[in-house]
């Protein structure tokens, strides 16, 4: 068993701090403590409850209809949730199906653990939509977990309620779980499909404060599921992080208590940015895309085809603009553009992208 670094995170670690314009990030522009106006002075810097502060868990549970705080495990970002669920459910003789492309840890964890992994591919020719017949073909008697990511990173594809129900049935038929990474769900352009965990005791929802709320630095995410899964997440995380950061939990709680007001502002900013990106895409000659249906990322490809490595490298070094080359997300030929950042930064970054595209095509 060998844990190797993920190419996506190597790229971030190397370049994201070295640029002037970031149009590759997959979340809304990050916030500072000052922006939030939260007083942190009274926070006790002790170990916390291993499943998360009960008040925070109750605040989170309010979003999940029939479920309550016992169905919530607060984790160190969605990342720890992913690790815990996969680590617990998928043993050495089990099979896991992971929708692809996605955030790489979802397939990299089973690879590192040497598990039997099948990739459920979203294809350009199918508008990056999940094909349920294909999912049915991939399932085996020993499949223990199917993971989907919707809205999808990096394609912006969105599953329908009907497809989600079908995916749950496919999992249930073999006694497997379906886990949906819903990290981008609050950034839907239209009404989102239901939260997976509210649909079946075999469905697991997972999300994070990192993207919609622009708070990746507090490292808070959560898993919502039937209580045996929640208890298992606790067992795994006790061996890795024990509990969450008390400062992170306090910030998450304060933000979620104001979620409606904050969400409105953030969605307006996201939609205004999407208009800019869409217009830019309509008026350039070198890239084509399947328009994202939601979230704050899209994955255009070069019309002339071929790798985007040279483009992204040129952009980051000469034009000080950050995007993500598709090769770092197993989607070579594409690049990830994020439109959740500041408006001006997006406009400038797209201008730099245009110049770099012109340069590589001259």
Residues that bind ligand PLP (CB under 6 A): 26, 77-79, 103, 149, 153, 181, 183, 208, 210, 216, 221
H or E stretch including 169?
helix 161-173
Nearest to 242 by CA among 250, 229, 233, 251: 233
The pair of three-digit structure tokens given for residue 207, joined into one six-digit string:
């999300």
Q: CB of 295: closest distance to ligand PLP in angstroms?
A: 9
Q: Which is nearer to ligand PLP, 103 or 319 (CB)?
A: 103
Q: Which residue is nearest to ligand PLP (CB)?
A: 77
Tell me whether strands 143-149 and 116-121 are parallel, antiparallel or unpaired.
unpaired
In the bound complex, what is the minimum distance in angstroms from residue 232's beta carbon to ligand PLP? Answer: 19
Task: State the nearest-atom distance from the C-beta of 55 to ligand PLP, in Å.
Answer: 21
Minimum Å distance from CB 78 to ligand PLP?
A: 3
Nearer Cβ to ligand PLP (53/147): 147
Query: Whose Cβ is closer to ligand PLP: residue 245's or residue 356's?
Result: 245
Distance of CA 357 to the CA centre of its chain: 27
At its nearest, how many Å lie between ligand PLP and the CB of residue 152?
A: 8
Nearest 5 degrees, angle CA 272-CA 277-CA 280? Answer: 130
Nearer to ligand PLP among residue 163 and residue 182 (C-beta):
182
Residues 73, 66: Cα–Cα separation, whole Å: 16
249-283 burial string, b = 16+ CB within 10 Å, else e?
bbbbbbbbeebeebeeebbebbeebbeebeebbee
- 78 or 232: whose CB is closer to ligand PLP? 78
């Amino acid at each position: 068993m060998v844990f190797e670094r993920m190419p996506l995170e190597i790229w971030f670690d190397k370049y994201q701090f070295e640029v002037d314009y970031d149009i590759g990030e997959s979340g809304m522009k990050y916030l500072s403590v000052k922006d939030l106006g939260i007083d942190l002075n009274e926070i006790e810097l002790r170990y916390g409850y291993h499943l998360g502060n009960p008040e925070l868990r109750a605040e989170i549970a309010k979003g999940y209809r029939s479920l309550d705080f016992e169905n919530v495990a607060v984790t160190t970002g969605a990342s720890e949730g992913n690790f815990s669920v996969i680590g617990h459910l998928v043993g050495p003789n089990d099979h896991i199906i992971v929708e692809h492309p996605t955030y790489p840890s979802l397939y990299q964890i089973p690879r590192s653990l040497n598990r039997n992994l099948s990739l459920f591919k979203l294809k350009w020719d199918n508008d990056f939509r999940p094909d349920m017949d294909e999912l049915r073909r991939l399932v085996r008697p020993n499949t223990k977990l199917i993971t989907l990511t919707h809205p999808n990173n990096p394609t912006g594809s969105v599953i329908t309620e009907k497809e989600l129900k079908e995916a749950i049935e496919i999992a249930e038929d073999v006694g497997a779980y379906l886990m949906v990474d819903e990290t981008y769900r609050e950034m839907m352009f239209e009404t989102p499909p239901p939260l997976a965990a509210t649909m079946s005791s075999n469905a697991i929802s997972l999300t994070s404060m990192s993207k919609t709320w622009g708070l990746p630095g507090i490292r808070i995410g959560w898993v919502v599921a039937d209580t045996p899964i929640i208890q298992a997440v606790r067992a795994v995380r006790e061996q890795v992080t024990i509990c969450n950061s008390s400062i992170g939990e306090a910030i998450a709680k304060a933000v979620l208590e104001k979620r409606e007001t904050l969400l409105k502002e953030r969605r307006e900013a996201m939609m205004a940015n999407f208009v800019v990106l869409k217009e830019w895409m309509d008026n350039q000659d070198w890239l084509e895309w399947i328009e994202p249906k939601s979230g704050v990322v899209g994955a255009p490809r070069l019309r002339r085809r071929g790798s985007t490595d040279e483009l992204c490298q040129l952009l980051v070094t000469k034009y000080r603009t950050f995007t993500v080359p598709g090769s770092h997300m197993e989607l070579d030929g594409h690049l990830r553009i994020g439109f959740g950042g500041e408006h001006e930064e997006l406009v400038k970054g797209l201008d730099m992208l245009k110049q770099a595209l012109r340069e590589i095509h001259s």
